[in-house]
Amino acid sequence: MKRRTYFTVAAALIGSSLLIPGAEARTCTGNGDVVGSYGYVGSRDGFFLLGATAPGSTFAGGSGPLIPVAITPPGTVIGSKTPIGNLIAGLSNPAVFSATGRLSADGLGNLFASSTAGSLGATLAGTYIVNADCSITMTLTDPFLTSSSGTGTTTTTGASVSLVGTVVDVNSNEIDLVSTGSSSAGAVLTLTKTIQFSSCTNASLSSNYGVSGQGMYNATGGNGIAIGGGTTATGAFTSGVTGTLGTAFSLLGRFVADGAGNFVQDFAGTASPVQRSITGTYLVNPDCTGTGRFMDTAGVGRNIGFVLVNQSGGSTRPELEFVFTDVGVFGGGIAKQQ
């Protein structure tokens, strides 16, 4: 009788576990879960309210001015003029930044970067440890910082940043991280596997994409309308109210990449009825990073830097993650294949 009861209870427990597959926690096996080519996007937003209230507001529990963070801050940490140098300087200084590029992971806990955008060079630029609960710790260092002296130019070790995060995708396609230093607060870094390791071309970016993004520009960045051009119609770019920090803007639209370096409008008869079509040009590098320019129907244009990655969830569908690269402009967004 007892044995029969035992099997009845056991069967019930097994059945219930099969009905609730999400109840079992996911585990990682180690550094081998993170291997391959990863595109990264790092950023920090435009301002923080450090125990303050915004001008014109009334709040009994707080007082003080709005604390802006400069778009082009002086900073105490100087990075090399390389993609990884720009990222580490942005993470290290308490200021606005946006950066994109590529890192390679060897599955043994080492990260490699190139000194040139688009290059496939491999210089040790950091280390990582993947834990059993799929958390990850990471250290990034700028290996390309140089200094000049009377005896010539020498390479020195640049600043280092420590990060913590999680491997959130079942196929390690996405890693979300935050930096841990006091000057790094507010910064986020996302790594996503590139669509290929070393053979991307303009043909790798084709088909229809929906795009969205946001950012801010100051006086040096301008409104993006070319001198002598543009209209007053609403296009894919929409600017908000101008304040002391600059002017916020949003981006919502659609483009067709022709695989030959051009963003083109839809075929005749399918143009967007809300004037959200985007045109322009792009260049994809072998390492799946690239540069481009978005132009909307109102004549507003913005330059971008991007990386082509796989969509989350183990998908092989491409996704374009980008940041704005014009002087005086920061922010970014994402474009997903439709």
Rounded-to-integer distance, Cα 257 and Cα 203, Å: 9
Please report the pLDDT score of residue 122 as a whole number: 84
Low-confidence ranges of the chain (pLDDT < 70): 1-26, 46-76, 147-158, 170-172, 183, 228-233, 267-275, 312-315
Rounded-to-integer distance, Cα 109 and Cα 105, Å: 7
Q: What is the CA radius of gyration of the chain?
A: 23
Please report the pLDDT score of residue 96 as a whole number: 82
Q: Which domain holds residue 258?
A: 202-337
Indicate whether 4 belongs to any domain.
no
Other beta carbons within 10 angstroms of residue 17's beta carbon come to 11
The verdict on 311 and 173 lying in the same domain is: no
Task: Determine contact, residues 309/195, Cβ cutoff 8 Å.
Answer: yes
Rounded-to-integer distance, Cα 306 and Cα 201, Å: 13
What is the value of pTM for the model shown?
A: 0.79
Indicate whether 24 belongs to any domain.
no
Please report the pLDDT score of residue 132 as a whole number: 94
The verdict on 98 and 79 lying in the same domain is: yes
Other beta carbons within 10 angstroms of residue 166's beta carbon come to 16
pLDDT > 70 fraction of the chain, expressed in percent and rounded: 72
CA distances from 8 to 13, 19, 331 (A): 9, 17, 59
pLDDT tens figures, 249-287: 999 999 999 999 999 987 655 555 666 889 999 999 999
Domain boundary among 166, 193, 220: 193
Indicate whether 21 belongs to any domain.
no
Nearest to 124 by CA among 147, 142, 100, 99: 142
Task: Determine contact, residues 149/140, Cβ cutoff 8 Å.
Answer: no
* Number of independent structural domains in the chain: 2
Indicate whether 152 belongs to any domain.
yes
The verdict on 183 and 218 lying in the same domain is: no
pLDDT tens figures, 182-191: 767 788 999 9
Instruction: Say if strands 67-68 and 123-130 run parallel, antiparallel, or are unpaired.
Output: unpaired
Domain boundary among 125, 158, 193: 193
The verdict on 173 and 218 lying in the same domain is: no
Please report the pLDDT score of residue 107 as a whole number: 94
